[in-house]
A = this chain, B = another copy of it.
Amino acid sequence: MAAQKKGAGGKQPTINDVAALAGVSKKTVSRVINRSEFLTEKTRKAVEQAIETLGFVPNPQARALAFRRNFLIALLHDNPNAQTVLNFQQGVLDAIKDSDLALLVRPVDRGSERMLDDVRTFLEKQRPIGALLLPPISENDDLAALCEDLGVRYVRVGSAPLDDAKHCVSSNDREVVAEAVRALIALRHRRIGFVRGPQGFRSAAEREKGFMEALSEAGLDLPAAYNAPGNYRYAAGIEAGEALLSLSEPPTAIFCSNDEMAAGVMSVAHAKRIDVPGALSIIGFDDSPTATHIWPALSTVRWPIREMGVRAAKTLVPDFLPLAGKVDESDSGVLNSTFIQRQSVASPQR
């Protein structure tokens, strides 16, 4: 039990108060705080006792000044998927829980011309030890270069290796999408549609590669009419659904590059009284809350996003984390996504 502190009025005890009470120099107290190994068990006990009695908590600003570094890491994101961001945050916080670190959050506006300047200003002002970059901004090489330039460590999170293992944590989206599409093929689907992600997104490209890979393995091809554009938004799913499901020979299954677009396609199917999964199987990507909230529940790919948060933090600041935190140096930084089968997929009825 720490002693109760005084309220807002009472002054915080300082390292000097502790030193005085324990009858040692403040440097010795500092040694205790920082777990120096050159300490008698006895003096350490005495100092700890004094700390306890006073309810002393080291002033982080003073420490930061003396150390010439603070204890903050930053999360930079411009992710449309709230659940993804929050799960990642949670993973990061799991990782830094028993450390002195705290997490700063900074959304950035990918579209803005001043994006790089904004980030520069933020990093210069706050000087966090490091920055975690979530997709899609993690794909921006200029941003990584900026961090490098400012001496701020960084780790990029992506759906495929974007950088060397020291600067990247990624998942194997391509493989898992291929696996999902193979599952459709195994169910005897032959007319399989595809709804793309936004152009220029690495994640979209990876998912497309996985899709094409599975198709060509099976000797199938993707007619132009089955290949619909998208941008990860629900409305794009609606448009793609309208287009694909109005064809004279519509696909019996559609892979959508994310859940939100899959929800759009599903809505169109409902509106057109097309039975899902009887007449149409649908697969999404993200395992967002939407995936389980729509009916029928959506088969999808789960990104190990929380685990990636943990890993990203461990990669970023291994030297600030408890020993348990160390990542194996030889680790490739690739985590596995998982294909999750739910009710939206079945064999085509015919």
CB distance from A272 to the nearest CB of B (A): 11
Tell me, yes or no, whether A323 is within 8 Å of chain B by CB. no
Per-residue B-contact encoding for A71-110, CB less than 8 Å = 1, 0 else: 0100100000011011101100100000010111111000
Given contacts A89-B107, A267-B295, 5 further A-B contacts (CB under 8 A): A7-B149, A8-B148, A64-B64, A64-B65, A85-B86
Within 8 A of B (CB), among A1-31: 5, 7-9
Secondary structure at the A interface, as helix, strand, loop or mixed, is helix
Q: A83-B82, A125-B60 are in contact. Are A93 and B107 (CB under 8 A)?
A: yes
Tell me, yes or no, whether A314 is within 8 Å of chain B by CB. no
In whole angstroms, how far apart are the Cα atoms of A79 and B7 in the complex? 29
Query: Which of A39-47, A159-167, A286-294, A333-341 lies at the interface with chain B?
Result: A286-294
Please list the residues of chain A having a beta carbon within 8 angstroms of any beta carbon in chain B: 5, 7-9, 57, 59-62, 64-65, 70, 72, 75, 82-83, 85-87, 89-90, 93, 100, 102-107, 122, 124-127, 148-151, 234, 260, 263-264, 266-267, 270-271, 288-290, 292-296
Which residues of the partner chain B approach A294 to less than 8 Å between Cβ atoms?
A: 263, 293-295
In whole angstroms, how far apart are the Cα atoms of A87 and B80 in the complex? 11
CB distance from A148 to the nearest CB of B (A): 7
CB distance from A81 to the nearest CB of B (A): 9
CB distance from A122 to the nearest CB of B (A): 8
B61 and A293 form a contact (CB under 8 A): no
Q: A267-B295, A289-B289, A293-B260 are in contact. Are A151 and B65 (CB under 8 A)?
A: no
Which residues of the partner chain B approach A87 to less than 8 Å between Cβ atoms?
A: 82
B100 and A125 form a contact (CB under 8 A): yes
B107 and A104 form a contact (CB under 8 A): no
Contact of A7 among B9, B122, B148 (CB under 8 A): B148
